[in-house]
Structure 1
């Protein structure tokens, strides 16, 4: 398991390197294009470029492409938070939540009382409702699962630190970095969960230091 865990930790650290790699010209546009021109999507970066082996964008209209990108960005953001959450939760005393000693992250949610978990679930539901109101057309008729015309996938207007670039190229570069980190985090968190299901130990327990 030491070998598997080392690979996993490398996957978590790797985004810090790839995040500062320059995006290719394929990601230079901040406007999502129709499926016949998916090369214009930010995120089509080296070494794979436009990577769609299953043909998910083939013959898909703009609405479908935007919906896929929205799902990818949001899942990537959740995965990045989950990776950090796993590492912090397993290595930090959590007496406030009823744990006198760190336990594996896979077991934490079932062991937390409903009274503690309810505020978290409520906050998640409120955040999702605000996101849906910002980016999605009210369901009905042909508008089911449809993003608003002027909504850019992932741009929910939450930027308390003012990090969003104002230039088109800078925005595309930042989105390409976020996508790269999010994609890697999705693989990383899947590996973390899988390893803990196999050996029942915290992620970092097999490291030699």
Structure 2
């Protein structure tokens, strides 16, 4: 496919701050945007799952049961011990440095297939590939705004799901 220096299917890029001075810089920024969008989509899903009351079985450090943790987001995070937070940082670091990286140059920024799993993707037309890339970009952008809004509402003390109702939810 050979990714162009533009938004797929749109043409020229919109860069009011002049950050993408070269195609390589644009590709790096696009990769970071895709990655943060994917993380935000997972964060929204995790926030909604925790908000529904679902919990893992088992215990955290200091024999704290997952089921005893109430709330979501910052409220739940505040109940973790330093060992629990260290484990989270270690797991995220491991995924970032060893797993979720591009070892083989992909067709587009954020293509982490590393030369594998071509069966489904290669069957799409260039137009469908561009459309799917744009769908992921837009969903990621929406998720980044969504998780930011959820975090803001939580810090303001109102429900992230129904902003008109006061917390704790």
TM-score of the aligned structures, taking structure 1 as reference length: 0.60
- Determine if the alignment matches structure 1 residue 52 to structure 2 residue 23: no
Quick check: 2:69–2:79 contact (8 Å CA) kept in 1? Answer: no
- Secondary structure (helix, strand or coil) at the match of 2:121 reads coil
Judged with a 3 Å threshold, the aligned counterparts in structure 2 of structure 1 residues 43 and 125 are, in CA distance, closer, same or farther, namely: farther
Question: Quick one: distance in 2 between partners of 1:43 and 1:117?
Answer: 42
Residue 102 of structure 1: how far off its partner (Å): 2.9
Please list every run of 5 or more consecutive structure 1 residues that lacks an aligned counterpart in the other structure. 1-29, 136-147
Aligned-residue offset at 1:84: 0.9
Alignment CA distance shift 1:132-1:203 (3 Å): closer
- Residues 100 and 112, structure 2, Cα contact 8 Å, conserved in 1: no
* Counterparts of 2:118 and 2:71, CA distance in 1: 36
Q: 1:184 to 1:93 in 2, by over 3 A?
A: closer
Specify the SS of the correspondent of 1:31.
coil
Taking the TM superposition and a 5 Å limit, the aligned residue runs for 1:48-197 are: 52=14, 54-56=16-18, 60-94=21-55, 96=58, 97=60, 98=65, 99-100=67-68, 102-130=70-98, 134-135=102-103, 150-151=105-106, 152-157=108-113, 164-166=120-122, 167=124, 168-197=126-155
C-alpha RMSD of matched pairs (Å): 3.4
TM-score (norm 2): 0.72
Q: How many residues align?
A: 155
2:160 alignment partner in structure 1: 203
Give the direction of change, closer, same or farther, for the CA distance of 1:169–1:74 in structure 2 (3 Å limit): same
Work out which structure has the larger RCO, using CA pairs closer than 8 Å and 6 or more positions apart in sequence: 1
More helix as a share of residues: 1
Q: Which residue of 2 aligns with 1:42?
A: 8
CA distance 1:126–1:181, change in 2 (3 Å): same
Change (3 A) 1:101 1:179: same
Unaligned runs of 5+ in 2: none
Q: 1:164 to 1:66 in 2, by over 3 A?
A: farther
Structure 1 position 161, deviation (Å): 8.5
CA contact (8 A) 1:70 1:154 kept: yes
Q: Is the 8 A contact 1:75 1:182 kept in 2?
A: yes
- Helix, strand or coil at the partner of 2:102: helix
Residue in structure 2 matched with residue 138 of structure 1 by the alignment:
none
Report the CA distance shift for 1:117/1:55 in structure 2 as closer, same or farther (over 3 A): closer
**1:153-200 CA distances to partner (integer Å, 9 max, x unpaired)?**
111127x998852133332221111011001111111111111111x2
Q: Which runs of 4+ in 1 moved over 3 A?
A: 55-58, 93-99, 114-120, 160-164, 205-208
